[in-house]
Amino acid sequence: MPDPTPSRLRRITRAESLRLLQGRAQVGRLGFISNGRPMILPVNYAASDDAILFCTGTGTKLSAVSAGVEVVFEVGENSPEYRAGWSVIVRGTAREITDPSRLDSLRWGSLRSWAVSSSEHWVEISIGEISGRIVVGD
């Protein structure tokens, strides 16, 4: 017998996922493997149709993702009072940006890390796969 309660969860298209990824959210969560263990850390980011950019200092994040490793990135918002929200997940490859002219452009751009100087290291995540879901509220 089919469930009489319609699901409030719906998958969204790539275009909708990109729109949310590029929208108002300023902080996402970067997932990667560090020393054989899973790690998730927040980053300030900017996104285009094919990449996510963030700035980071020297440390765990940079050593784990600078050399072309597979990562996962998640961004979302929720509204507990309405039991609603959305989430977008990206899987891709992270690489440190080393081209001097590109770095100069990024350092003068609008993206600013809350934690480190914009002259620190910049990382780009290619958007290999993207998916999203929305929970429609009450």
SS3 labels along 17-44: HHHHHCCCCCEEEEEEEECCEEEEEEEE
User: What's this model's pTM, rounded to 2 decimal places?
Assistant: 0.85
- pLDDT for residue 4: 54
Give the containing element (helix H, strand E) for 87. Answer: strand 84-96
> Is residue 11's pLDDT more than 60?
yes
pLDDT tens for residues 59-96? 888 888 877 889 999 999 988 888 889 999 999 999 99
Model confidence at 131, pLDDT cuts 50, 70, 90, reads very high
- pLDDT for residue 62: 82
Residues 92-111 have a mean pLDDT of 85
User: The dihedral of CA 48, 109, 101, 52: what is its sign?
Assistant: negative
DSSP 80: G
- pLDDT for residue 75: 96
Given the structure tokens 């809350």, which residue do they identify? 114
- pLDDT for residue 6: 60
pLDDT tens for residues 24-70? 778 999 999 988 899 999 999 999 999 999 988 888 888 888 778 89
CB atoms within 10 A of CB 106: 19
- pLDDT for residue 119: 66
Measured CA to CA, the distance from residue 39 to residue 61 in angstroms comes to 9
Q: CA 45 from chain center: how many Å?
A: 7
Given the structure tokens 């995540």, which residue do they identify? 125
User: The dihedral of CA 111, 113, 118, 123: what is its sign?
Assistant: negative
Domains of the chain are 14-135 (2.30.110.10)
- In the chain, the amino acid numbered 136 is V
- pLDDT for residue 2: 56
Q: Does 124 or 104 have the greater pLDDT score?
A: 124
Q: Alpha helices, DSSP H only, in the chain?
A: 14-21, 60-65, 100-107
